[in-house]
């Protein structure tokens, strides 16, 4: 299979910058999706594959966790979904010959783009201790290496099992059972770096860590906030829902330091009118300072309080506050209100960088709305004070009774397509005891109750030599995690690293003493086991569970499904020579589960609430929706049985003199650490990624000019971290706030800089200074793959 993959890293000297766009999607998006699909898949496979995306009997798009509409279009995908699909369904292959040709040392000099472009992994591979190259290994020998490592451990907590959010419910369920059977809760996942702050704040306040709205709610709300989210790139199908909401009369307020194209103006490629005229989506754009959202929501709380005292009212109520709801279903109002009274407007203005007029106008929008939804993503979850920020979002919604009523609620927009489902299945380092009790009952063993490591704790434990085995179920740990150098060293401290992957990435190159690559099926591919072709299930951002079935011939005959890898390993570790479970291990018939995934679904049904008649209900197109007590019946499963107002001291980021707050974010041509292409079309960046977007006045004040090359130096508790060679781009961002792409900048995110309570790395607030680039010669203009 001839590979047309690029032979070089991104050549940053080709970078050009043009004016950012104010419109998203439209015809250029369709053209770009087709171009990438054709390059990777060829014409026939492109049509076959793209027509099956998100169809009733097709596969679930792995682009994001946005729900599908009940009435599906023939093409129920978006530009970036098409790119995600093309990346997996590519015809390019990374075979044993590839690994014989390139040493690990050589591959380490390649960037994320180059590695990803080489294609799909085809064979299990091993890197022996001291070896320079990976060599092929049989599946049995590979699994035996892991089993041996598990047997050699002094304590189960010497193993760490990471999960990325693409893993299906079935694979996640058997995986967590394997891990708990081993005797540990060391189950860090990508969610720790993503929506953990949302989970923390929502569990505390409304008793469940999931969003409370449906698509219908979104389409019928009167006011929608989109805060800290760039849907035009990361959840493009959400724009269609916002467009419908808009047509139904909703007002949309965007809260973001950057004027993101998709939020401002949307051209729907699926309607003629859309491609010609488009919809102005945002009514008000609040260009907030990074980390100013808590202040804004406290300000809005104060505004509502003043309006309540002035005798005004919310539509449908005689007062501003929903007193019946507050009295019957909440606690903590008084201390929240008295905290609000202590907050000074001057601080709110300073923290947000907004004017009083803007804040008042937003308060008026709330007063005019009988049903309000707040949507958010990483701009709200990746700060030190993210959990209090989200608690304050909930406070404002509770005041007007906006939780558990039609057209209203909280909408944390998830990232990975099954990250929410993985958590439902028990991928969490600290599941509640009730889950453990049910698991133990079903499988007749005692699962460990002591909490395990989350992502940051796992890195620290590896660094400190406490971990012998690291297993990654998907994902790209070394590039997704903070503090790239520290994480790489931590992994090097283990005896064995195992990556269960579809595509080559840097986590295959930053290894322990030995390493395994276990190639697995992607979601687009047919998964045939002894009982026949299998389906898997996933849960979207709005708690709908449905089946997904791949149709394509697997990329190689040597691939094993995630479920089969886990079950084969568990069988090896947990059963004696006669196939009987060893004492103290889960009583599961691992090989039968491997052969027929519906048997896994039976166990899920027995252990997890809301999965009654699981098998039957996934026969229905669109599947079923899991229970959500606040949404369904305004019940709050908190210890008090009520929703909680909370009082949170105001926190915000103060920019030290000569420094900037750097947020690390996604370009339009990437999926997390997978780089599809070199452009960020909507922001006007073409042909390169090493740019730092800086406010024009800051550029001048700091003594630079647009286009200058700088190093970014992060400062944290007396330590410094450096990312080299970034081109300054003057950009519309509040003063003191800068932006650059992840994962090139992960080297700057200090391991110990995490959100309070949730432990999420503060990827959206890194304090940096700019220094003239140290490397200036022409040949050094192209930086090595990994920043130093």
Ligand X SMILES: Nc1nc2c(c(=O)[nH]1)N[C@H]1C(S)=C(S)[C@@H](COP(=O)(O)OP(=O)(O)OC[C@H]3O[C@@H](n4cnc5c(=O)[nH]c(N)nc54)[C@H](O)[C@@H]3O)O[C@H]1N2
Selection from 107, 88, 179 nearest residue 554 by Cα? 88
Q: How many other CB atoms sit within 10 Å of the CB of residue 347?
A: 14
Which residue's CB is nearer to Mo ion, number 326 or number 740?
A: 740
Which residue's CB is nearer to ligand X, number 475 or number 750?
A: 475
Interface residue with ligand X among 46, 230, 447, 561 (CB under 6 A) is: 230
Interface residue with ligand X among 763, 769, 785, 787 (CB under 6 A) is: 763
Q: From CA 342, how far away is CA 315, in angstroms rounded?
A: 28
Interface residue with ligand X among 664, 695, 753, 762 (CB under 6 A) is: 664
Cβ neighbors of 577 (< 8 A, separation 6 or more) are: none
Which residue's CB is nearer to Mo ion, number 245 or number 419?
A: 419
The tally of CA atoms less than 13 A away on the side-chain side of residue 419 is: 28
Selection from 29, 236, 10, 8 nearest residue 681 by Cα? 29
The answer to the question of residue 229 lying near ligand X (CB under 6 A) is yes
Quick one: DSSP state of residue 95?
A: -
Shortest Å distance, C-beta 500 to ligand X = 5
Torsion angle, alpha carbons of 334, 335, 338, 340, to 10: -110
Terminal-residue alpha carbon distance, the chain: 35
Q: From CA 201, how far away is CA 387, in angstroms rounded?
A: 5
Which residue's CB is nearer to ligand X, number 219 or number 562?
A: 562
The answer to the question of residue 290 lying near ligand X (CB under 6 A) is yes
Q: Cβ-count burial of 96 within 10 angstroms (0-12 exposed, 13-18 middle, 19+ buried)? A: middle
Choosing among ligand X, Mo ion, none, which partner's interface includes residue 200 (Cβ < 5 to 8 Å by kind)?
none
Place of tokens 């690990």: 104
Token output for 571: 């069988």
Interface residue with ligand X among 405, 416, 463, 631 (CB under 6 A) is: 416
Q: From CA 500, how far away is CA 478, in angstroms rounded?
A: 14
Which residue's CB is nearer to ligand X, number 187 or number 749?
A: 749
Q: Which of residues 12-71 bind ligand X (CB under 6 A)?
A: 63-64
The answer to the question of residue 646 lying near ligand X (CB under 6 A) is no
Token output for 107: 């591959």
Interface residue with ligand X among 142, 238, 252, 258 (CB under 6 A) is: 258
Interface residue with ligand X among 503, 535, 601, 644 (CB under 6 A) is: 503
Q: From CA 294, how far away is CA 650, in angstroms rounded?
A: 7
Shortest Å distance, C-beta 521 to ligand X = 7
Shortest Å distance, C-beta 743 to ligand X = 6
Selection from 506, 495, 552, 563 nearest residue 529 by Cα? 563
Shortest Å distance, C-beta 53 to ligand X = 14
Q: From CA 683, how far away is CA 17, in angstroms rounded?
A: 9
Q: Cβ-count burial of 497 within 10 angstroms (0-12 exposed, 13-18 middle, 19+ buried)? A: buried
Place of tokens 């005019």: 368
Q: How many other CB atoms sit within 10 Å of the CB of residue 470?
A: 27
Interface residue with ligand X among 41, 85, 145, 190 (CB under 6 A) is: 190
Shortest Å distance, C-beta 191 to ligand X = 7
Choosing among ligand X, Mo ion, none, which partner's interface includes residue 590 (Cβ < 5 to 8 Å by kind)?
none
The answer to the question of residue 522 lying near ligand X (CB under 6 A) is yes
Shortest Å distance, C-beta 231 to ligand X = 7
Quick one: DSSP state of residue 67?
A: P
Q: How many other CB atoms sit within 10 Å of the CB of residue 454?
A: 23
The β-bridge relationship of strands 674-675 and 223-227 is unpaired
The answer to the question of residue 415 lying near Mo ion (CB under 5 A) is yes
Cβ neighbors of 346 (< 8 A, separation 6 or more) are: none
Give the chain's length: 788
Q: Taking contact as CB under 5 A, which single stretch among the options 187-195, 213-221, 568-576, 596-604 is the one that binds Mo ion?
A: 187-195
Site string for Mo ion, 190-219 (x = CB under 5 A): ----x-------------------------
Choosing among ligand X, Mo ion, none, which partner's interface includes residue 260 (Cβ < 5 to 8 Å by kind)?
ligand X
Choosing among Mo ion, ligand X, none, which partner's interface includes residue 463 (Cβ < 5 to 8 Å by kind)?
none
The answer to the question of residue 281 lying near ligand X (CB under 6 A) is no
Please, are residues 622 and 54 in contact by the beta-carbon 8 Å criterion? no
Shortest Å distance, C-beta 415 to ligand X = 2
Token output for 705: 């000019």
Site string for ligand X, 473-502 (x = CB under 6 A): xxxxx--x-------------------xxx
Interface residue with ligand X among 325, 671, 682, 731 (CB under 6 A) is: 671
The answer to the question of residue 568 lying near ligand X (CB under 6 A) is no
Choosing among Mo ion, ligand X, none, which partner's interface includes residue 663 (Cβ < 5 to 8 Å by kind)?
ligand X
- The closest residue (CB) to Mo ion is 415
For the chain, give the longest Cα–Cα distance: 78
Number of residues that bind ligand X (CB under 6 A): 60
Choosing among Mo ion, ligand X, none, which partner's interface includes residue 68 (Cβ < 5 to 8 Å by kind)?
none
Q: Which of residues 72-91 bind ligand X (CB under 6 A)?
A: 80
Helix (H) or strand (E) holding 74: none
Binding site for ligand X (CB under 6 A): 63-64, 80, 164-166, 190, 193-194, 227-230, 233-235, 255-258, 260, 288, 290-291, 293, 377-379, 415-416, 473-477, 480, 500-503, 505, 520, 522-523, 562, 663-666, 670-674, 742, 745-746, 749, 763-764
């Amino acid at each position: 299979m001839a590979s047309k993959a690029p032979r070089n890293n991104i050549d940053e000297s080709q970078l050009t910058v043009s004016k950012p766009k104010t419109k998203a999607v439209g015809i250029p998006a369709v053209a770009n999706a087709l171009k990438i699909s054709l390059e990777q898949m060829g014409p026939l496979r492109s049509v076959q594959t793209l027509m099956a995306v998100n169809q009733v009997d097709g596969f679930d798009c792995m682009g994001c966790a946005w729900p599908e509409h009940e009435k599906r279009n023939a093409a129920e995908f978006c530009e970036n979904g098409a790119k995600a699909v093309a990346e997996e369904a590519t015809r390019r292959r990374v075979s044993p010959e590839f690994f014989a040709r390139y040493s690990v040392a050589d591959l380490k000099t390649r960037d994320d783009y180059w590695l990803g472009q080489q294609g799909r992994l085809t064979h299990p591979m091993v890197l022996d201790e001291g070896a320079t190259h990976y060599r092929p290994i049989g599946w049995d020998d590979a699994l035996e290496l892991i089993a041996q490592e598990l047997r050699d451990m002094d304590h189960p907590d010497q193993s760490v099992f990471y999960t990325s959010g693409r893993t299906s419910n079935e694979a996640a369920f058997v995986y967590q059972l394997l891990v708990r059977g081993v005797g540990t809760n060391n189950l860090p996942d990508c969610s720790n770096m993503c929506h953990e702050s949302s989970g923390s704040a929502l569990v505390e306040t409304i008793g469940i860590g999931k969003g409370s709205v449906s698509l219908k709610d979104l389409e019928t709300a009167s006011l929608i906030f989109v805060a800290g989210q760039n849907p035009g790139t990361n959840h493009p199908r959400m724009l269609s829902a916002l467009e419908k909401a808009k047509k139904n009369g909703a007002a949309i307020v965007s809260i973001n330091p950057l004027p993101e194209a998709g939020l401002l103006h949307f051209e729907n490629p699926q309607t003629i009118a859309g491609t010609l005229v488009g919809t102005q989506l945002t009514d008000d754009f609040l260009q907030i300072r990074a980390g100013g959202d808590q202040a804004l929501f406290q300000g809005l709380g104060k505004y509502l309080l003043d309006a309540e005292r002035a005798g005004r009212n919310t539509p449908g109520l005689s007062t501003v506050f929903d007193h019946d709801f507050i009295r019957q279903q909440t606690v903590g109002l008084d201390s929240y209100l008295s905290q609000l009274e202590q907050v000074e407007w001057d601080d709110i203005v300073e923290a947000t960088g907004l004017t009083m007029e803007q804040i008042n106008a937003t308060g008026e929008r709330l007063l005019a709305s009988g049903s309000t939804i707040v949507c958010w993503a990483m701009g709200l979850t990746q700060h030190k004070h993210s959990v209090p920020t989200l608690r304050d979002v909930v406070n404002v919604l509770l005041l007007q009774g906006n939780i558990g009523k039609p057209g209203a609620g909280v909408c944390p927009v998830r990232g990975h397509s099954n990250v929410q489902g993985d958590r439902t299945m028990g991928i969490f380092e600290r599941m509640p005891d009730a889950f453990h009790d049910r698991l133990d009952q079903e499988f007749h063993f005692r699962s460990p109750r002591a909490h395990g490591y989350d992502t940051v704790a796992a890195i620290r434990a590896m660094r400190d030599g406490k971990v012998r085995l690291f297993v990654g179920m998907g994902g790209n740990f070394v590039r997704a995690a903070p503090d790239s150098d520290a994480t790489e060293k931590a992994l090097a401290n283990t005896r064995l690293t195992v990556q269960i992957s579809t595509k080559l990435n840097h986590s295959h190159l930053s290894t322990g003493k030995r390493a395994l690559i276990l190639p697995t099926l992607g979601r687009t591919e047919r998964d045939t086991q002894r009982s026949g072709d299998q389906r898997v299930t996933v849960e979207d951002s709005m708690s709908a569970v449905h089946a997904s079935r791949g149709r394509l011939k697997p990329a190689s005959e040597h691939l094993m499904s995630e479920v089969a890898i886990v079950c084969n390993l568990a069988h090896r570790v947990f059963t004696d020579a006669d196939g009987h479970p060893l004492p103290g291990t889960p009583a599961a018939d691992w090989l039968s589960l491997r052969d027929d995934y519906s048997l896994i679904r039976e166990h899920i049904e027995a252990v997890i609430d809301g999965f009654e008649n699981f098998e039957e209900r996934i026969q229905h197109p669109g599947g079923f929706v899991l229970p959500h007590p606040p949404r369904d019946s305004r019940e709050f499963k908190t210890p008090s049985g009520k929703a909680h107002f909370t009082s949170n001291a105001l926190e915000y980021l103060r920019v030290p003199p000569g420094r900037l707050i750097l947020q690390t974010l996604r370009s339009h041509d990437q999926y997390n650490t997978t780089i599809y292409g070199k452009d960020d079309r909507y922001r006007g960046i073409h042909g390169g990624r090493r740019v730092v977007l800086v406010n024009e006045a800051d550029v001048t004040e700091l003594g630079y000019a647009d286009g200058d090359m700088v190093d970014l130096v992060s400062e944290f508790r007396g330590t410094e971290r450096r990312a080299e060679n970034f081109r300054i781009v003057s950009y519309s961002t509040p003063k003191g706030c800068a932006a650059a792409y992840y994962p090139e900048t992960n080297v700057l995110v200090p391991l110990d800089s995490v959100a309070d309570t949730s432990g999420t790395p503060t990827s959206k607030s890194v304090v940096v200074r700019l220094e003239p680039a140290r490397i200036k010669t022409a040949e050094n203009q192209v930086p090595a793959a990994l920043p130093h």
